[in-house]
Amino acid sequence: MLTTTIRGCRAAALVLAGVLLAGPATAAELAGVHMPERMEVDGESLSLNGLGLREKFFFDIYVGGLYLPETTGRADDVLSLDGPRRVVLHLVYDHVSREKLVEAWNDGFEDNLSEDRRKALAERIEAFNELFGDAEAGDEIAIDYLPGQGTRVVYNGKVTGTVPGRALARAWLAIFVGAHPADEDVKSGMLGG
């Protein structure tokens, strides 16, 4: 009888140890939004670097996830990387109009780019802004940088377009993890903080 009890305790301890040592789950969660730890983008496997919650005027707007080939806690590494990158924005606010999205992008570009740099990228920024529409709670917007292709926007799994070149990618990534991010908590979260 004592042997059976000891075996049962050992078995329970092994199961508990296995659960505790198994490592992270296959998804991360923030504000009720689940994002996978890994995803494939254009044939490349990317890892979730971190998640951040964008709040404005006490309202939750979106959960943003940053996906990279290799995780890093350094913004400079994210901005200078020439490999594929993806930012996923999962909307949690009821409705965000296209106009508000474009206004937010333009504010971010203004905060993170010199006037000369904005002028040099003006056509690409305009083309980027054209790829967005209204967004509702539950919508997922993915913004990818694909080497050799450019910046691609995907709404709920449907590609809305691609803006060629690498320069725009650094500019929109700076909105999330640059020196003057739209939200410090999102930056910290996306960088794994």
Q: Residue 39 is part of which domain span?
A: 25-190
CATH number, position 164: 3.50.70.10
Is residue 5 situated within a structural domain? Answer: no
Tell me the average pLDDT of the chain: 89
pLDDT in tens, 95-130: 999 999 999 999 999 999 999 999 999 999 999 999
Is residue 14 situated within a structural domain? Answer: no
pLDDT in tens, 4-25: 444 444 444 443 334 333 334 4
* Per-residue CA distances from 77 to 4, 47, 82, 185 (Å): 55, 15, 10, 18
β 150-155/140-146 pair status? antiparallel
| pLDDT greater than 70 at residue 2 | no
The model's pTM is 0.85
Q: What is the 3-state secondary structure (H, E, C) of 58-117?
A: CEEEEEEEEEECCCCCCHHHHHHCCCCEEEEEEECCCEECHHHHHHHHHHHHHHHCCHHH
